[in-house]
Amino acid sequence: MSITDLPKIELHMHLEGAAPPAFIRGLAAEKKADLSGIFDERGAYKYKDFWDFLRVYEAATSVLKTPQDYYRLTRAVLEESVASNVVYTESFLAPDFCGGGDVAAWADYLAAIKQAADEMEREAGIVMRAIPTCVRHFGPDQAKKTAQCAQETVGDFVTGFGMGGDEAMGKQGDFKYAFDMAREAGLRLTTHAGEWGGPESVRDAIRDLKVERIGHGVRAIEDLGLVDELAEAGVVLEVCPGSNVALGVYAKWSDHPIAKLRERGVKVTVSTDDPPFFHSTMRSEFDNLAETFGWEEADFVALNTTALDAAFCDNATREAVAKKLETPDA
């Protein structure tokens, strides 16, 4: 078996950001929305730089409007995950985009997403869990509404709470109230830090929001004292190397610090973030890691183990997924 065929665990993927371009084109055609400017001649998403990426992302996701759209989106995204032999995936969902932060509207969107996830689990064996996320640049008050949405729907499917959005806006600590609400509801916590922000943003996240995982966190490498603290505390990084290279956080794969972080004892995992926007898949992430750092099957098995241990699911689910890792052909 080749390394790219190994079963995989993914912990960091934005549902809208994983929308296959063909799916978005189809939806745009049905809704008579003109999105021709955001695709290249091969039908992939096209953008010049990070700011242009945000514009294209917003345009692509603007056609996702109803719970039924999200039902179809979830199926389309999970089909792509299955094609990469992902057996367990955690997806960030934004109640701000699914009902504008209103709890009742969110529940309708969530039911549609869960229906698709349940079907895909029955049909293809992939297990999905959901992490509602607040959007940092919408501010702390809107984040409280998001936390309330998460709180009201916590259960077997909604298991975590997180924050994405523009890292330059405000501080992690501004969102303490929302994260405290989520923690008290029994949700497990992650936040984006150390991607565009430096090591101090990772420190802030751990101290002020008491998260157990960090989305990205790779720029911790600029402060080796912090790297050692992360290793000591067992904080898990959701590393998305293909995303970081595509958006220019690092110029090339060989500049990416994932191997250094791992060698120094940090618990690293690998995910795609917004895969079609970066022309990546979980297969291509594994392939590039093997190619760049010489990682072998045992390294990827260890990576999966770390990810499964850090997964925001109950132990019965964890044990069931562990079996899928042992018997990839089952």
Summarize as ranges the residues that interact with Zn ion (CB under 5 A). 273
Neighbours of 123 (CB within 10 A): 12
Minimum separation from the CB atom of position 247 to Zn ion (A): 10
Are residues 197 and 225 in contact, defined by beta-carbon separation less than 8 angstroms? no
Are residues 237 and 230 in contact, defined by beta-carbon separation less than 8 angstroms? yes
Per-residue b or e along 278-295, where b marks 16 or more CB atoms closer than 10 Å to that residue's CB: bebbbbbbbebbbebbeb
Instruction: State which residue, 28 or 240, has the beta carbon closest to Zn ion.
Output: 240
- Is 200 a residue of the active site? no
For Zn ion, the nearest residue by Cβ is 273
For the record, the structure tokens of 268 come out as: 């690293």
Q: Which residue has the tokens 């309708």?
A: 108
Minimum separation from the CB atom of position 195 to Zn ion (A): 8
Instruction: State which residue, 16 or 273, has the beta carbon closest to Zn ion.
Output: 273
Instruction: State which residue, 273 or 285, has the beta carbon closest to Zn ion.
Output: 273
Alpha-carbon Rg of the chain, whole angstroms? 18
At 285 the three-state DSSP class reads helix
Among 167, 195, 238, 285, the one annotated catalytic: 195
Minimum separation from the CB atom of position 79 to Zn ion (A): 21
Minimum separation from the CB atom of position 164 to Zn ion (A): 5
Instruction: State which residue, 239 or 266, has the beta carbon closest to Zn ion.
Output: 239
Please name the helix (run of DSSP H) or strand (run of DSSP E) that holds residue 66, with its range, or none. Answer: none
Nearest to 89, CA basis, from 44, 52, 46, 121:
121
Are residues 7 and 85 in contact, defined by beta-carbon separation less than 8 angstroms? yes
Phi, psi of 187 (to 5 degrees): -85, 145
Instruction: State which residue, 94 or 261, has the beta carbon closest to Zn ion.
Output: 94
CA atoms of 236 and 265, how far apart (whole Å): 11
Instruction: State which residue, 80 or 273, has the beta carbon closest to Zn ion.
Output: 273
For the record, the structure tokens of 38 come out as: 């955001």
Helices of type H across 40-175 = 50-61, 67-83, 103-124, 140-153
CA atoms of 64 and 67, how far apart (whole Å): 9
Minimum separation from the CB atom of position 192 to Zn ion (A): 6
Instruction: State which residue, 49 or 329, has the beta carbon closest to Zn ion.
Output: 49
Minimum separation from the CB atom of position 31 to Zn ion (A): 26
CA atoms of 31 and 98, how far apart (whole Å): 18
Minimum separation from the CB atom of position 133 to Zn ion (A): 9
Please name the helix (run of DSSP H) or strand (run of DSSP E) that holds residue 275, with its range, or none. Answer: none
Any idea which residues carry the catalytic annotation? 195
